[in-house]
Amino acid sequence: MSYPDGVRGRWVWGFPQVPRLPMRRRGLAFGALATAAALSIMIGNPLGEIITGYLSWQWIFHINIPVGIIAMFVCWKVILKDVPKMDEERSGIDPAGVLFCFASLLALMYALNRLAEFGWRSQVIWSSIAVGAAAMTAFLFRERASISPLLDYALFRNREFSFGNVANFLAYFFLAGNNFIIPFYLMIVKGLNPQHAGLVLLTYSLVFV
């Protein structure tokens, strides 16, 4: 398999990887990735406010359908062509790992979303937390035994990778928290309607990016 401009493929921990970029092109690649991620976080909230104000809150979910279809089509047509074929024993994903991960996130998100309604003393809340914790524990144990894990623990042996992810988490924690609080401030304290709050956030977001 040939790759353009010095790009080459490699195997890491027994898995074929997407072609590795040469050093001179990695800064550009990471810059493009970081820019796309920052744009999605900073513009997503204002866009949601505008959609909610002019249409309805249901549309913030409906709009993801065509975007998701386009993204899947691009992945199928472009990305999968560049990935070398994997061993038959290591191909595909881990269905059990996916199921445990989905169950844990679903149960924990349900508990957080219903906490204000039911309260901390509710059996529903604590049952959801227990199910989420059990599913997460099962997921972590499953990933140790899986041939094709969703979460490869070997990656975290690299200190640069681990500390980089911690720094990235803290940065996005600030950005997401900031985007969560400011709309309430603009609408409740300043009395703006959703679409006007969205326009204010859009201006701030573009300057920030």
The number of beta carbons lying within 10 Å of the beta carbon of residue 112 is 13
pLDDT value of position 136: 92
Q: Are 171 and 38 contacting, i.e. CB atoms less than 8 angstroms apart? A: no
7: confidence class by pLDDT, cuts 50, 70, 90 = very low
135, with CB counted inside 10 A (0-12, 13-18, 19+), is: buried
Average of pLDDT values for 36-59? 76
Specify the range with the lowest mean pLDDT, choosing from 12-26, 98-112, 174-188: 12-26
Asked whether 51 and 194 are in contact (CB, 8 A), the reply is: no
DSSP 190: S
Phi-psi domain of 13 (left: phi exceeds 0; alpha: psi -120 through 50; beta: other): left
User: Is the pTM for the entire model greater than 0.75?
Assistant: no
pLDDT digits (tens, 9 = 90+) for 48-58: 777 877 787 78
User: pLDDT at position 135, please?
Assistant: 93
Residue 11: predicted pLDDT: 42
The whole-number pLDDT of residue 208 equals 65
Average pLDDT, the chain: 77
pLDDT tens by residue, 103-154: 999 999 999 888 888 888 888 889 999 999 999 999 988 888 887 777 777 7
Exposed, middle or buried: residue 187 (CB in 10 Å: 0-12, 13-18, 19+)? middle
Beta strands 15-16; 11-12: pairing state: antiparallel
Task: Retrieve residue 143's tokens.
Answer: 């990933």
Q: List, in sequence order, the alpha helices (H) in 119-189.
A: 123-145, 159-184
User: What residue segments make up the domains of the chain, in order of their start?
Assistant: 1-87+152-209, 93-147
- Residue 82: the pLDDT is 55
- With a CB cutoff of 8 Å and minimum separation 6, the contacts of 180 are 45
